[in-house]
Amino acid sequence: MYTCILVDNGSTDDSIEKIKEYCKGKIAVGSKFFKYEPSNKPIEVVECGRDDRLDISKAQKDRLFLIKNDKNYGFAKGNNIGIQYALKAFNPDYILLLNNDTVVDRNFLTELVKLMESDGKIGIAGPKIYYYDFNGRSDVISFTGGDIIPEKGSGKRYGCGEIDSG
């Protein structure tokens, strides 16, 4: 079972209302990468604040846990708030972080979990990431992995800007 926790980092626009409308099935999402599927709606939204305790009895299919931060805590702390909730409430085997502008393949999470479970030495995994629109192309890679270079205080990205050849 997968549990979805969405952290709103103090939005000042109408994004929370749009998320709720989407979960009710009132807004269809459009993308060239997938066909909108209304049959999995409605999705119940369970809301809480940053310091509230999540009700883990509600952790089941078709629920979205929405943590509403009182302000923007920045990218890293926003992620950490979501991770802390996941660890306390659900004791998960894995945690996946996604940005709000991400489009995923319908099987990507199953494939990542399968990979992780194939070898106990694997501690972290990530999918191949494409640019959504790279000068009209959708087959240009943004990231396939990387290395940290401690002595330089930097990193090296693999695949960035390459056309995917499989």
Contact 71, 8 (CB under 8 A): no
Instruction: State how far the Cα of 66 lies from the Cα of 58, in Å rounded to an integer.
Output: 12
Residue 152 belongs to domain spanning: 108-158
Round the average pLDDT of the chain to a whole number and report it. 89
pLDDT in tens, 140-164: 999 999 899 999 999 999 999 999 9
Query: Are both 54 and 128 inside the same structural domain?
Result: no
Query: Are both 16 and 86 inside the same structural domain?
Result: yes
Kindly state the average pLDDT of the residues 36-60: 76
Kindly state whether residue 78 falls inside one of the protein's structural domains: yes
Which one of 48, 63, 90 terminates a domain? 90
Query: Are both 17 and 70 inside the same structural domain?
Result: yes
Question: pTM for the complete prediction?
Answer: 0.81
Mean pLDDT comparison of 30-34, 48-52, 53-57, 104-108, highest-scoring range: 104-108
Query: Are both 11 and 61 inside the same structural domain?
Result: yes
Helix (H, G, I), strand (E, B) or coil at 145: strand
Query: Are both 63 and 14 inside the same structural domain?
Result: yes
Length of the chain: 166
| Cis geometry, peptide bond prior to residue 92 (ω within 30 degrees of 0) | no
Query: Are both 83 and 32 inside the same structural domain?
Result: yes
Cα–Cα nearest to 42, from 18, 15, 62, 57: 62
Residue 78 exposure: Cα atoms within 13 Å on the Cβ side:
19
Query: Are both 81 and 143 inside the same structural domain?
Result: no
- Pairing type for strands 129-130 and 44-49 reads unpaired
Kindly state the average pLDDT of the residues 90-119: 91
Kindly state whether residue 36 falls inside one of the protein's structural domains: yes
pLDDT in tens, 72-89: 999 999 999 999 988 988
Query: Are both 14 and 86 inside the same structural domain?
Result: yes
Number of domains composing the chain: 2
Which of 32-41, 111-120, 136-145 has the least mean pLDDT?
Answer: 32-41
Helix (H, G, I), strand (E, B) or coil at 147: strand
Kindly state whether residue 95 falls inside one of the protein's structural domains: no
